[in-house]
Amino acid sequence: MSTIKAALFWTFISVLCVDAIFDKDVGDDGVPFPPTLQPSDSGLPVGHLSPLGYQREPEGPVKEYTQPLAPTEFWEQHARDPYVPLVYRQAIAKAPAVTNWQSDEYIREKYGDLDVLVEKKIEDRMNPVRLRMPLSEFLDNYHRKQWYVVSLLPDPMRAEMQVPRSLLCGNFKDSILESNLWLSSGGTRSVLHYDADHNLHCLISGRKDFIMIPNKYGDKLDLADNKKSGSGFTHMNVDKVDLVKNPEVSEVPWTWATLQPGDCIFIPSRYFHQVRSYGRSVAATIMWDPFREFNDSDCATRDIDKYTALSDVRLQWTYKKGDKVIDMGYINVETMRNILLNEMKDEELNKFTPEVLSILYAYNILDEEEDEQLGEEDMEYVRKVFSLMDKDQKGYLTEEELRGLDIETLKLVTRLIEPAHGPIGENMGSRDEL
């Protein structure tokens, strides 16, 4: 065999082997993490073109606890700025999900008719494809087609998921935005990124490794331009870090964590993280809005040690069978209310009008650099959205009316003036793209 042919042959074989590992559905604990640094014999920096984590020794593991902290301690030591990640071992061990969701058959039988959002296993943020389909269709195909459920956790599944005690009093329980379901055959690799919200990521099946990096190192990490949103990601290829292009990666300190079923990791707002999964992988995450002051007035009276299911707490964005949209990734509607109020004040108006709404809408959908303006069609749309808020159709809302606007209307307005967050109908995009 010629060298080139041999190389191709071995690439082919190794691809097959990798696939075989991922399709076996057993936790592949053979992959060492954190990695051992390999000295460079090429004169190039250590870890050049290796996966993220091979460029520098980690600072150590993420701080971990065998029992979740009480809400006040969690606030004081981790969830208040400066945010500090943590791992809770076996925090959801009592959740029925940890036993029941090990089996595709169980999920298919009980939840197969529920719709979820599905994307490709290997994340491509520049070219995302996301489809909506029933869980049963996903389960029939996910090993062969490298599919990944990244979706709002459907309401009926919340009953089998536990909320760890740290979130059971004070503002925590009032600021939960949504819960997400993550399901794949393993071998997923996220890009290095951060999100706007706090996140408790709990593993139900498989193994997940996390690389954690404080937000302040963002300027060493080849960040994608993302001014408008509270989230961000790097352009770096995390499987092959190019230290010629991004030499400063070697200077960035990082911590690590490995989750097993039942464990949770707190990923703070704006904290960089990169996630790899091994074996059939199921996780549920709970997201909430960071707040500045902790109000513990109900903590003395709440029994945080009573087993609490995720279906026993209020979430802002939910999905149940038959809902037209799966509202994923939207902001807190109370934050939206404040944005609307502030815009009214910025414009020095004492009334909220379609014009004020159009400023926000334009900010969300137009490219400032291109100096674009809202067209007549867009204005027509804004007036329609406005008329949903203007219950007595008098053409404006007073500040008081805006403060009193009901949650359901605010949610509707949020959906309508933010860019689409996912596929709306069943037929957005095609199965062939996945």
Ligand X SMILES: *[C@@H]1O[C@H](CO)[C@@H](O)[C@H](O)[C@H]1NC(C)=O
- Which residues would be at the binding site for ligand X (CB under 6 A)? 295, 297-298
Q: Please identify, using beta-carbon distances, which residue of 130 and 173 lies nearer to ligand X.
A: 173
The length of the chain in residues reads 434
The burial of 237, by beta-carbon neighbours within 10 Å (0-12 exposed, 13-18 middle, 19 or more buried), is given as middle
Q: Please identify, using beta-carbon distances, which residue of 295 and 364 lies nearer to ligand X.
A: 295
Q: Please identify, using beta-carbon distances, which residue of 76 and 113 lies nearer to ligand X.
A: 76
Interacting residues of 340 by C-beta distance below 8 A, sequence separation 6+: 352, 356, 357, 360, 402, 413
Whole-number Cα distances in Å, 50 to 36, 40, 128: 12, 11, 25
- Amino acid found at 146: Q
d(CA 279, CA 275) in angstroms, rounded, equals 13
Q: Please identify, using beta-carbon distances, which residue of 78 and 173 lies nearer to ligand X.
A: 173
Q: Please identify, using beta-carbon distances, which residue of 49 and 299 lies nearer to ligand X.
A: 299
Q: Please identify, using beta-carbon distances, which residue of 253 and 404 lies nearer to ligand X.
A: 404
Whole-number Cα distances in Å, 284 to 150, 153, 182, 203, 249: 10, 7, 6, 7, 30
Q: Please identify, using beta-carbon distances, which residue of 297 and 393 lies nearer to ligand X.
A: 297
Q: State in angstroms the smallest separation of the CB of 303 from ligand X.
A: 15
Q: State in angstroms the smallest separation of the CB of 296 from ligand X.
A: 8
Q: State in angstroms the smallest separation of the CB of 312 from ligand X.
A: 17
- Measured from each CB, the residue nearest to ligand X is 295
Instruction: Note the maximum CA span of the chain.
Output: 81
Q: State in angstroms the smallest separation of the CB of 176 from ligand X.
A: 15
Q: State in angstroms the smallest separation of the CB of 175 from ligand X.
A: 12
Q: Please identify, using beta-carbon distances, which residue of 77 and 295 lies nearer to ligand X.
A: 295
Q: State in angstroms the smallest separation of the CB of 76 from ligand X.
A: 17
Q: State in angstroms the smallest separation of the CB of 141 from ligand X.
A: 46
Q: Sign (positive/negative) of CA torsion 71, 72, 73, 78?
A: positive
Q: State in angstroms the smallest separation of the CB of 398 from ligand X.
A: 24
Phi/psi class of residue 259: alpha, beta or left (left: φ > 0; alpha: ψ in -120 to 50)? Answer: beta
